[in-house]
Homo-oligomer: A and B are copies of this chain.
Amino acid sequence: MAKIAVIIDDLYEDSEYSEPSSAFKKEGHQIIHIGLMKNKKVTGKRNKITVRIDEKISDVAVDDFDALLIPGGFSPDKLRAYEEPVEFVRSFVKSGKPIFMICHGPQLLISAIVLEGRTITGWKSIKQDIINAGAEYQDQEVVIDDNLVSSRSPADMPAFIRECLAKL
């Protein structure tokens, strides 16, 4: 069974955290919430779900996990204002382990400067940012490029979860 890090801060899109996490746990995988501060409670932008950060990002390593989930909403933009989340994501991409990102999730990979030559999708508002980062943007419900699995929005959830599970 896989150990999956969920990198998260306030204002995540609630269902983009809860639905994949539930699906992963249902299959027996373990979820570890990593964020800016251990034990901090972070709340989704729709105020539906609050989660507690299990580990501070600077206290964990890529080696501790088998995969990374980046929920969207405004959480990725809040995280990328700090060095540790960006460094962690950069190392995760380079490790070749699976990264699952949806909506605004790719913003962390843009700041980590790891998208040159990759093919992904994401929420339409960040399309130009993805292209400017050197990636190809595909307007599809799910895009798989080696270790990167990406979707656009909660509407893509069934395809997103299906392809994430296939990587685990």
Q: Does A111 contact B (CB under 8 A)?
A: yes
Q: Quick check: which of A16-24, A31-39, A63-71, A123-131 contacts chain B, the rest being far away?
A: A123-131
The complex places the Cα of A81 from the Cα of B113 at a distance, in Å, of: 23
Is A80 interfacial (CB 8 A cutoff)? yes
Is A78 part of the contact surface with B, judged by Cβ < 8 Å? yes
Asked if B129 and A81 make an inter-chain contact with CB atoms under 8 angstroms apart, the answer reads: no
- Tally of this chain's copies: 2
Q: Is A74 an interface residue (CB 8 A)?
A: yes
Number of A positions contacting B (CB below 8 A): 21
- Give A26 Cβ to nearest chain B Cβ, in Å: 32
In the complex, A133 has a CB within 8 A of chain B? yes
User: Is the pair A80, B133 in contact by a Cβ cutoff of 8 Å?
Assistant: no
Closest partner residue, chain B, to A111 (CB atom): B128
A84 located at the interface, meaning its Cβ lies under 8 Å from any Cβ of chain B in the complex: no
Contact between A81 and B123, CB atoms less than 8 A apart:
yes
Chain B, Cβ-Cβ closest to A104 = B77
* A107 CA to B125 CA, complexed, in Å: 9
A115 to B74 alpha-carbon distance, docked (Å): 23
- Among residues 4 to 63 in chain A, which have CB atoms less than 8 Å away from a CB atom of chain B? 11
**Sample of 19 A–B contacts (CB below 8 Å):** A11-B74, A74-B74, A77-B77, A77-B125, A77-B126, A78-B125, A80-B125, A81-B123, A81-B125, A107-B125, A110-B129, A111-B125, A111-B127, A111-B128, A128-B133, A129-B129, A129-B132, A132-B132, A132-B133
Given A77-B104, A81-B123, 12 extra CB contacts under 8 A? A74-B74, A74-B77, A78-B125, A81-B125, A107-B125, A110-B129, A111-B125, A111-B128, A113-B128, A128-B133, A129-B132, A132-B133
